[in-house]
Every structure is written in C-alpha cells, then in structure tokens.
Structure 1
Amino acid sequence: MKKRLSLLLSMALAMTVTTPAVAAWYEVTGTAPMVSSIEDARTNAIKDALYRAVNFAGGDLGNIPNISKLITNNRNQYQFANNEIRYMSIDKVDTHRGNIRVNVRIDIYPEASTCHTQQYKKTLLFTHIKVDSPQQAVMGSIYDVGKNFTKVFSRQVELDSHSFVSLGATQYDVNAHTPERVKMIAEDTGAQYIVTGDITDLSATYLKYGDSNMSINREFAMKIQVFDGKTGVRVMDNNYRDAALWPFARTSQVDTSTARFWESSYGHMLRQISRDAMLDLENELACKMTLPEVVARFGNTVTLNLGRIHGVQPGDKLQLWHTGSFIDQRGIARTKVTRSEISLTVSRVYENDAEATINQADLAASVQIGDVMNKPLPNTYN
C-alpha cells in the first residue's frame, strides 16, 4: 500500500512574539479497506489522509478526533474553526483492489505552542486487554485476540505517538477499585499512566446472498480506561465499536498473532480502532503535565526517570514540587504535591534518564526521592 504525501505550496508566514509558524497546503492520498460499507471506508480513508498530513507537518495529532465526526458527512469541502486543520478539499475518490482511495488537499497551520512540543513525552504502561465473554471467541478460537491487540496498540503508540512512550504490557490487572495497585505498579515501572481495557463484543452475524452464498459480519466492541499512576484515579474512559467481514471459515482456528489475521478485513478494522484510540490519547492527555521524578540524589545533583527518548535535553530548566501524603477525614490516603522555590538545570541526558543540577545549592538537602518536576513554558518560568 503506497501513499503519496507532497508539500504543494507554502501559503503564509505569520510572525509572533516568540516563534514563527507556517500555514501550508498538503496533498495526501489516504486509503482504507472496504470492511463494512463504502461510506465507512471513505471516512476512514480521509482520517488516514489527515493523520499522515498532520504527522508530516509536525502538527498536533490530538486535533484529528475533534473533527472526526464532521468528516462523516459526504461532502467535497470542509472548513474547520479553532483547529490547526483549517480547510480540506476532497479532489478524487476511487477504488483499487478492495480499497477506497481519496486524494485530499489540506490546509494546516501548526501552532508552535501545541502541547506535544512543550511537554516531555509521557510514559504509558498497558495491561493485557481481556475478552469479557470467552464464548464469543469460539468461532476462530481467537481467545488471544485481546493480548495480541494490546501488542498492536502498544506498538502503534511507540511508533506514531507524538506525546507518549510505551513501556509495553504488564501481566497485572487494574481497575477503578484498585487505586493502590495502580500506584504500586506505576511506581515499579515508572509509568505516568496505565492503560487497560475489555473487549465486550465479538458476536457474529450471518449474511446470506442468493441461494447458497453466505458471509459473516463480526463485531468488535471495546472499552478503554486510563489511570493516573500517581493518584490511581481514572482519567479517561472511552468506548469503541465497529464491524467488518470475517473472511475465515467458521470452523477454522485463526492465529491472531499472524500477518494473515492483521492484513485481513477484520484485522484492518482492529488496526483502525487502535489508531483511533491512540489519537484519543493524544487529544485527552497530551496537555496533561509531564512529571519527571527524582529517583536519586548525590549532593547537588539529582537523577530523573526521563531521558532522551522522552525529549529531555541538556540545559532544560525544571521546577521542583515536593510530594507527600496525608489521610483525609474519611481515612483515605491522599497524595499532596507542593510547589517549591527550587529550580534545576538538566546537565546530562541518557536514553531513559537524566541528571540535573540544583540551582539553589543551600536548598539541596530538602530534595527527596519521589519529588517531581515540571517543565514550565518559556514565558512563565522565573
């Protein structure tokens, strides 16, 4: 599957007080398999084109979910407000080997102040997504579809996300009733967020054409939850549902870890859901503060648990926050974070961690393991 992305014309140069930004037209060919209907395939192909254009332009991927519902309308031109994506024109739609291809021209105005350019990348840990009703997985014996979907989802984040770094998957389960377990796992792995999920529907519908031809349409419904590793609180709860042709024989056993499955019409649909979920993470969590943590202190130097892969660079200025805990009136343990007067400067950067120097040497003794930092915006740091 070959997709062409070319920059056509730089339209304008807008000068601001801090950083220049450029508006530009992009021509993109997006594709999507026809797994359920032509209308759904057209929408998915447009979303594919939007993703590739925004990713190439260095824009905010979180803007795509904000306009996803608008592009379901069958129109040739779209104009958006309050978004980096300003205008979109559908120039051509055709079919090729079972795929819908759309040629789209998109006007994008990347903003220099977008969250993924100002914050360090956040660490995500996945738990294995479970199949709620194993009896629904009997057809094809796809009992491991949740485990393998987790791997695809984690890989999607690792390769394509602007705001997150995947730590892979853990075998431990978490839910809204286990906040202490969430915090314990997050502390052990260095995860800022833990992603879990449940597959709630794998049912199939038999469609008959003529006297003997029959096809199988299979559902896929999933609930995704995200928990804050510091507090154990649920910060995101989304549901996804789609259906696609099940191309395998009813009595065959399907290995959901193979390319044969993931390149099928049903596998393509699951990959589209994986991308949608990744874009929702970008939309809902990219602007949350990234909090590197103090994991060691030697004199006037501390070690942070974020490094080069998270976007940390030598010379970065950081603000320190002291962490503590207390018991509220209901007997529930709470985490308390207090802003300090201590600032730090990153001195050395490694792959997964970094060292920073405490700028106020006389206050170094008050820095404790577990204290967190944030990277203030350039115009707010003092």
Structure 2
Amino acid sequence: MKAFLASVFAGLGATALLTFSSFTAAQWYEATGHAQVNSNDIGAAKSAAIKDAITQAMVFSGARVTSVQTLVDGVLTQDQLKISSHGEIQKIELISEQRHNEQLAVTLRLDIFAQTEQCPQSNFKKFIAVTQSQLNNREQARLGQIFDINKAVSKNIYTALLKSKMSAVPVAYYNNAINVDKYFTQQHDYSNSQLEDIATRSNAQYVLLSQITNLSASDKLNNDYAFWQDESYQRSYQIELTLFDGTTYEQLWQNSYQSQAIWPFAKTDIIDVHSQRFWQSPFGQSISDINQTLSYDLQAAMACLPTQGKIMHREDDKLVINLGKAHGLTKGQLLSIAHHDYLTDAMGNRMPHKVITLNSIRVEQLYQQSAIAVSVNNAPLPGVQINDIVEVVSQDP
C-alpha cells in the first residue's frame, strides 16, 4: 500500500520533501477522496480517490491547485493536476476504504509541515452563488433528449464545490434560467443589476455563471454489420465559466473545459440526466471529472480574494452586515468600510472602483449569516450608508 500511495502521489506533480525544517510546524490532516468505479476497475478508482484525498489535504494546508489539460486533435489525452504547495507531506496513512455500489471512498491521514507563507484571507469563507448553466445549442441535446443537461450540470458543479470544503462555499441558485450571453462577449456589457439581484437573493458575495457550448456527437463507433453490438457514439462536452464579484460587479476569473467520452446509449433512448444511469456512464463521469477539476481551480482562484459584504441596515451607531459565523467572523473582528463607485475611461467605459474610507467597525453580536457591528472606539461614521462595502481586516500570520 505504501508503494501504491507513493506512485499516486508522484503522479500529482508535487514534490514531497521528507525532511524537517525548523521554519515549519507539523500538523495532521484527514481527508476523504471519492471516485467512480468504472468497469469494475478497483485499482483505477482507488488511485483517483487517493489523488482526490491528497489534493484536498494539500489545499487545506495552504496549497495552490491548478489543472493542466492537453488536447490532441480535440481529444483529451492528459489531465494533470499540479500542486504548488506551501507544505511538505511527511507521512500518509490509510484510515479506511469503503465501496457503496459504484462509488469508492478512501480516507487518508496526512502529516504535513505547513509553512507560514499563506494569504490570511484563506482563513475566511467566501459564499458563491452557483447559477443555472445556459445550454447554447439545444439541437445538440436531441441525442438522448438531454435538454435538462444544463440544470443537472449546475447541480453537479454545486456538489463538487460543496465536497471540496475550502475557501469558496457554494450557494444553490440553479433553479431559474439566466441569459448569460452578455457575460461571455468581448464587449463586457454586463448587467450590474442582475448580478446584484443574484448576490442579494442568495446572500452570496460572488456569482458563478456558465454556458455549455458543445454537446455534439461523432459518428457511431461500432460496425453497422455487427448488429449484436450496442450502439455507441463519441460525444463532446465543453463548458465556459466566469466568476463575478457580486458587490463591485467586476469579472474575477474565467475558464473553459472540454472533453470527449463514449455515449453508450442507443440512439432512440431517452436519458434522464438526473439518474445514476447517466452519471455512471463514461460521458457522465467525464463531466464529473471536469467539475471536480474546475472546483479545485475555482477554490484556488478564490483563496486569496477578500471576504466582503454589505451594510444591510443602520440604526444609530449599530450596523447590520451580511457576514457572520459561516464566513469565519468572530466576535471582535475588525472590518473596513468602502463606498462603491465607478471610474470612466477615455472610451467611455465604466470600471468598478472602491473608495476606501477611514471608518472601521468591530463585530459586537454574531449570527450565522449576519452580524451587528459598531464603530471602533465609538468614533463617528460620517457618510456611511446602506449597501456600502464592508471587508474583513485580516492580520498577516
């Protein structure tokens, strides 16, 4: 098992230095990785689950994770996970291994020397609204009648983010359809009011938008003369995502992912995209793999973003803000206040702009999703208004 763990870890592209440094402090991390068992291949599933568990533990310890995808002739040939770590793995122990139907769960315990080179913002949570993905070419969904694939994919993205349990905490906002065309054009003609509405209704600070751009199928793979064979097709999948700040309406991150996998169903079959039959198929599993990768990419992109919210109500010297325990706030936490404004460039384009004030507030009463804050040292708060931005003041370690 040790050799197996070593081979899996080596495949991650991370460097494990098994030496003690006086500038580090050892800490145990426990993480559970999950993987799908395809074609009863337990070895491949165990390798994927261990990789998932190690990645989670490394990210918890302060690592940055990025994925590198290599495409040759439109076919995904390599999906390599690279970890730039602020920690060094000293020891890995297998705690448990459980299989339920076609799902394998592996729990590891890792001894990591976590270094102090981390951004302090990673200690706080950022809530992100996961909206319903837009299906751009509905005619491509005719094979299998998978016209609800955008809803199922959005839910799967939400689940992948929820399982990662890192800086970004997903909020389900995928029940209503959203027109996202304008967010993926070069004109950047965003709807600030729509972003604000999504952020307000979901009580999230960030908004994730996406569109599925390709579901095309290739020619049938099996021979027409081999009538005893089941029909199968090679099917493409491509999705584009973009992340916005729900407070300043600024675009913060954008990426696209694509893959190709076997569509094993008959041409006349009507497939339920919410069923295990779909998600356990090679095509469904390829989407799940992409969503796991994008969840790590998004978590890494959001780790050092500020935890910020808004002033929702003011009564005398007390301010009600939409941040609370769930975001990592504690009683006595300091926050700064900024006004939301715009700058206009020579071409007439409006760019978001925060006007930082000298006002500081301190959390006095704490709730799960909100808090009551007062001015530090009872100083006056001139010009502070509802919807002004509050941002967590984090101390460097």
RMSD of aligned residue pairs (Cα, Å): 4.2
What displacement does 1:73 show? Answer: 8.3
What displacement does 1:279 show? Answer: 0.7
- Aligned equivalent of 1:192, options 199, 205, 211: 205
Mean Cα deviation higher: 178-187 or 274-283: 178-187
- Aligned equivalent of 2:301, options 284, 296, 301: 284
User: Match for 1:84: what amino acid?
Assistant: G
- Aligned equivalent of 1:309, options 321, 326, 335: 326
1:257 match? 274
Encode CA deviations 1:194-214: one digit per residue, 9 max, x unaligned: 211121221223222694435
Matches within 5 A, 1:57-206: 59=60, 63-65=64-66, 83-84=86-87, 108-112=112-116, 114-115=118-119, 118-169=122-173, 170-174=176-180, 175=183, 176-186=188-198, 188-189=200-201, 190-205=203-218, 206=220
- Aligned equivalent of 2:316, options 299, 322, 339: 299
TM-score by length of 1: 0.76
Counterpart CA distance in 1 for 2:364 and 2:374 is 6
TM-score by length of 2: 0.73
- Answer yes or no: is 1:248 the counterpart of 2:245: no
2:25 match? 21
The secondary structure found in structure 2 opposite 1:256 is coil
Kept in 2: contact 1:116–1:162 (CA 8 A): no
What displacement does 1:155 show? Answer: 2.5
User: Match for 2:178: what amino acid?
Assistant: Y
User: Match for 1:318: what amino acid?
Assistant: L
Change (3 A) 1:265 1:163: same
User: Match for 1:197: what amino acid?
Assistant: S
- Answer yes or no: is 1:229 the counterpart of 2:246: yes
2:235 match? 218
Unaligned 5+ runs, structure 1: 6-10, 90-95
Kept in 2: contact 1:61–1:279 (CA 8 A): no
Counterpart CA distance in 1 for 2:179 and 2:84 is 41
Change (3 A) 1:172 1:208: closer
Counterpart CA distance in 2 for 1:79 and 1:87 is 19
User: Match for 1:178: what amino acid?
Assistant: Y
What displacement does 1:184 show? Answer: 3.1
What displacement does 1:193 show? Answer: 2.0
The secondary structure found in structure 1 opposite 2:289 is helix
Kept in 1: contact 2:335–2:360 (CA 8 A): yes
Change (3 A) 1:221 1:129: same
Kept in 2: contact 1:225–1:238 (CA 8 A): yes
Mean Cα deviation higher: 300-309 or 258-267: 258-267
Counterpart CA distance in 2 for 1:102 and 1:159 is 14
Counterpart CA distance in 1 for 2:348 and 2:207 is 25
Kept in 2: contact 1:62–1:286 (CA 8 A): no
Q: Count how many residue pairs are aligned between Structure 1 and Structure 2.
A: 355
Matches within 5 A, 1:7-46: 21-22=25-26, 31-33=35-37
Change (3 A) 1:84 1:257: same
Percent same amino acid at aligned positions?
A: 21
Counterpart CA distance in 2 for 1:103 and 1:313 is 31
- Answer yes or no: is 1:50 the counterpart of 2:51: yes
1:93 match? none
Kept in 1: contact 2:145–2:271 (CA 8 A): yes
What displacement does 1:81 show? Answer: 6.3
1:272 match? 289
What displacement does 1:183 show? Answer: 3.8
Kept in 2: contact 1:34–1:100 (CA 8 A): no
2:221 match? 207
1:372 match? 389
Kept in 1: contact 2:217–2:236 (CA 8 A): yes
Change (3 A) 1:142 1:361: same
The secondary structure found in structure 2 opposite 1:208 is coil
Kept in 1: contact 2:310–2:389 (CA 8 A): yes
Counterpart CA distance in 2 for 1:171 and 1:337 is 31
User: Match for 1:196: what amino acid?
Assistant: L
2:15 match? none
Encode CA deviations 1:323-365: one digit per residue, 9 max, x unaligned: 3446555554444323322222212221211112211423234
User: Match for 1:137: what amino acid?
Assistant: A
Mean Cα deviation higher: 22-31 or 296-305: 22-31
Counterpart CA distance in 1 for 2:79 and 2:199 is 48
Mean Cα deviation higher: 172-181 or 346-355: 172-181
